[in-house]
């Protein structure tokens, strides 16, 4: 499909959704005043599907991504992740789902400056209790898969922006998540590096079977997704 397919649901997502978002809302109270950031978000995402979230600045894209990543709780509506209504889960279960089932890729990379690429990729596995030899082998495998087998022992300041983002992507994949959330993953990259990151995200969906949700302002990135969900004043179109 192309970026023009803006319907929030498709036959493929209706068949077996990994994400099932229905009437999701989020508001905040600032100085006694209520601010509605998300007012009605409804869409589904299947395993192996790439969905781009687009919208103007302030439309609620980052807030929605935080909810999908279980970093925040909605004010209303429901968010089903792999058959579980996450809005009803306690913090312990939400934390486990986040750690085991969701990988995050950010625009600013968020790598540990004093750690090598190998060590950075291993961080989620350390938190998950993966033994040292296994996590080193897995980190090496992932870095080789993203074309950085020659950069295992390089630190972030020794890497280009595109290389740092590939390390960040390898880190996101380290625990084989069912869902990859990418927040403007190409926003700080040149055209060639942007295309490479999108190639790798698409590969994770096509070959690895992960659901991929990409927040982007770049029409070229959105055009490569299976489907586009547009946010307008906190509502999905």
* Percentage above 70 pLDDT, the chain: 93
6 within some domain: no
Residue 10 reports pLDDT greater than 50: no
Whether 111 and 165 have beta carbons less than 8 Å apart is answered as no
Are 58 and 228 in contact by the 8 Å Cβ rule? The answer is no
Domain CATH number, residue 37: 3.40.50.300
Cβ atoms of 24 and 74 closer than 8 Å: yes
User: Could you read off the pLDDT of 193-210 as tens digits, one per residue?
Assistant: 899 999 999 999 999 899
Kindly state whether residue 35 falls inside one of the protein's structural domains: yes
Classify residue 217: in a domain, yes or no.
yes
Predicted TM-score (pTM) of this structure: 0.89
CA pair distance 142, 123, nearest whole angstrom: 13
Confidence of residue 177 (pLDDT cuts 50, 70, 90): very high
Residue 4 lies in a domain: no
Question: pLDDT tens for residues 185-194?
Answer: 998 898 988 9
Q: What is the DSSP letter of 8?
A: S
- Domain extent, residue 54, equals 11-236
Instruction: Tell me whether residue 1 is in a domain.
Output: no
Per residue in 15-63, pLDDT (tens digit) is 569 999 999 999 999 999 999 999 999 999 999 999 999 999 889 999 9
| Pairing between β-strand 76-81 and β-strand 84-85 as defined by DSSP bridges | antiparallel
Beta strands in 82-201 (DSSP E): 84-85, 102-106, 179-183
Does 13 score more than 70 pLDDT? no
Domain count, the chain: 1
Assign 3-class secondary structure to 68-112. Answer: HCCCCCCCEEEEEECCEEHHHCCHHHHHHHHHHHEEEEECCCCCC
| Other CB atoms within 10 Å distance of the CB of residue 74 | 21
> CB of 79 within 8 A of CB of 87?
yes
Within-domain flag for 72: yes
Rounded to the nearest 5 degrees, what angle is found at the Cα of 101, between the Cα atoms of 184 and 224? 35
- Strand-pair partners of 81: 19, 84
157: DSSP letter: G
Q: What is the DSSP letter of 159?
A: S
Cα dihedral angle (4, 1, 235, 169), rounded to 10 degrees?
A: -120
Does 185 map to a domain?
A: yes
Report whether pLDDT(169) > 60: yes
């Amino acid at each position: 499909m192309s970026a023009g397919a803006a319907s929030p649901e498709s036959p493929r997502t209706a068949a077996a959704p990994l994400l099932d978002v229905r009437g999701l809302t989020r508001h905040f109270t600032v100085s006694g005043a209520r601010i509605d950031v998300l007012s009605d978000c409804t869409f589904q995402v299947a395993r192996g599907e790439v969905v781009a979230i687009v919208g103007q600045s302030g439309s609620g894209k980052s807030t929605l991504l935080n909810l999908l990543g279980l970093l925040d709780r909605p004010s209303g509506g429901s968010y089903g992740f792999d058959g579980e209504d996450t809005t009803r889960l306690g913090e312990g279960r939400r934390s486990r789902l986040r750690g085991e089932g969701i990988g995050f890729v950010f625009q600013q990379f968020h790598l540990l400056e004093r750690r090598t690429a190998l060590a950075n990729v291993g961080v989620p596995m350390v938190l998950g209790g993966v033994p040292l030899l296994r996590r080193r082998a897995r980190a090496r495998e992932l870095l080789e898969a993203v074309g950085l087998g020659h950069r295992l022992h390089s630190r972030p300041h020794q890497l280009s922006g595109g290389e740092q983002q590939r390390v960040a992507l390898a880190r996101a994949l380290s625990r084989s998540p069912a869902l990859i959330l990418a927040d403007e993953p190409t926003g700080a990259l040149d055209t060639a590096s942007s295309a490479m990151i999108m190639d790798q995200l698409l590969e994770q969906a096509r070959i690895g079977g992960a659901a991929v949700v990409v927040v982007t302002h770049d029409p070229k990135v959105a055009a490569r997704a299976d489907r586009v969900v547009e946010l307008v004043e906190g509502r999905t179109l």
